[in-house]
Amino acid sequence: MAENVACIKRFSAKVITKFICQAMVATGMPRADARIVAELMTEADVNGSDGHGIFRLPGYIRRIKEGGLNLQPNIKIDKERSGMALVDGDNAQGHLVMRFCAEVAIKKARDSGVAWVGAHASNHAGPASLYAKMPIAENMIGLYVAIGNANHLPPWGGIEMLLSTNPIAIAVPGMDSPPIVLDMATTVAAYGKVKTAAQRGEKMPQGWMIDKQGEPLTDPNKSGDGFLMPIGGPKGYGLALMFGLLAGTLNGAAFGKNIIDFNADFKTPTNTGQFIIAINIAAFGDVNSFKKNVDVIYRTMKASATLPGYDEVFLPGEQSYRKRQDREANGVPVHNSLLVSLNNLADSLGIPKLE
């Protein structure tokens, strides 16, 4: 999956944010909401989540244009107790819903110690780590789970696509070390990576997908003929299923056969489910002691001798953190195929091109 550097241009986060914001406003999203969505989408790109930032813009715009998204939502708490809330996303852009949920979780966890906030009637919200990281600034740990918006995973041993990649992210703050941030799909590869490979004209490695006869599938353009492989076989299937019950069924959101494939249907509300947990470290003990202990774990892992063929041990989120340093300094790389698609979009919306 080597990238052809000649096909890549870089744009500053500011330029990316402005472009996304203009596109959203041109499609009818109120400017304040468009700003929030644009900043979170750009944040995804800066963090290296290439399948979840500006790459998603054409799909999001198409959903708005076809009437599948509510541009004047009333995002609100449906039910709440001291340790939880259930939020009605009112079919808003997922970024708006999950930012709202993260704020509710953080506010509740200040008193309750731990707060779990679920959402229904939400939508795709970008990478899981965006939201898991929000509690960090408040000296809290974040945990986020989402239902994927297209079923590409059958139950283990089956061939009917009833499950999605249902990702989990967990973010833990350190004192001097960067936060440790896991962001993973329950499948070997997230579907966003398949889409990115297709757009770039690249093959997929064996192990990402199999076809309905159980044979390896490596052409991302044929992804509709096969399905993603769960991590650890039945274990990844089990995680995808349980996360689906927690983020979907428990919240009154779609799961299983009710999932709307947002790559094929841009009109029907997706009723996406997600949840976030904020864990107030101070409720468990001294915050600085905890953070220093996280630093010790960080350094201990980094110091491990390596297997033949490995130069270095990475902490979860460390490679994203390095990408962030690079992209803040040198801009966000945009592959030529994506740039063409974005500038066609700009033309159709009557906004300035990305250049």
- Residues 112-131 touching a second copy, rule: CB under 8 A, are 112-116, 118
Q: Give the residue from 166, 76, 193, 70 showing the smallest Cα distance to 123.
A: 70
Nearest to a second copy of 314, 340 (CB atom):
314
Site for a second copy in 9-68 (CB under 8 A): none
- Rounded CA-CA distance 70/95 in Å is 13
Stretch of 111-119, 260-268, 328-336, 346-354 lying at the interface with a second copy (CB under 8 A): 111-119
Binding window for a second copy (CB under 8 A); candidates: 28-36, 178-186, 191-199, 338-346: 178-186
Count of CB atoms within 10 A of residue 56's CB?
18
Among 26-34, 91-99, 245-253, 336-344, the segment contacting a second copy (CB under 8 A): 245-253
CB of 248 to a second copy, least distance (A): 9
Single out the segment in contact with a second copy by CB under 8 A; choices: 36-44, 192-200, 212-220, 336-344: 212-220
Q: Write phi, then psi, for 213 (nearest 5 degrees).
A: -95, 0
At residue 190, what is the residue type?
A: A
Please state whether beta strands 209-211 and 226-228 pair in parallel, antiparallel, or not at all (unpaired): antiparallel
Instruction: Count CB-CB contacts under 10 A for residue 224.
Output: 10
Residue 260: alpha-carbon gap to chain centroid: 17
Residue from 26, 178, 252, 349 touching a second copy (CB under 8 A): that is: 252
Assign 325 to helix, strand or coil.
helix
Distance of CA 236 to the CA centre of its chain: 18
Check residue 1 for interaction with a second copy (CB under 8 A).
no
Does 190 help bind a second copy (rule: CB under 8 A)? no
DSSP readout, 109-151?
Answer: HHHHSEEEEEEEEE---S-HHHHHTGGGGGTEEEEEEE--SS-
How far apart, in Å, are the Cα atoms of 263 and each of 81, 256, 315, 342?
A: 36, 16, 33, 17
- 3 state DSSP class of 318: helix
What the block records as the tokens of 48 is 């290296």
Q: Pick one of 148, 244, 269, 333: the residue that binds a second copy (CB under 8 A).
A: 244
Q: Does 306 bind a second copy (CB under 8 A)?
A: yes
Among 77, 137, 296, 340, binds a second copy (CB under 8 A): 296
* Nearer to a second copy among residue 94 and residue 174 (C-beta): 174
Q: Establish if 180 lies at the interface with a second copy (CB under 8 A).
A: yes
| CA 37 – CA 32 distance, rounded (Å) | 9
Residue 178 binds to a second copy (criterion: CB under 8 A): no
Q: Interface residues for a second copy in 141-170 (CB under 8 A)? A: 141, 154-160, 162, 170
Query: Which of positions 65-94 make contact with a second copy (CB under 8 A)?
Result: 79-84, 86
Q: Which one of 15-23, 56-64, 207-215, 344-352 is the stretch in contact with a second copy (CB under 8 A)?
A: 207-215
Task: Give the separation between CA 276 and CA 101, rounded to whole angstroms.
Answer: 7
Q: Which of residues 314-353 bind a second copy (CB under 8 A)?
A: 314-316
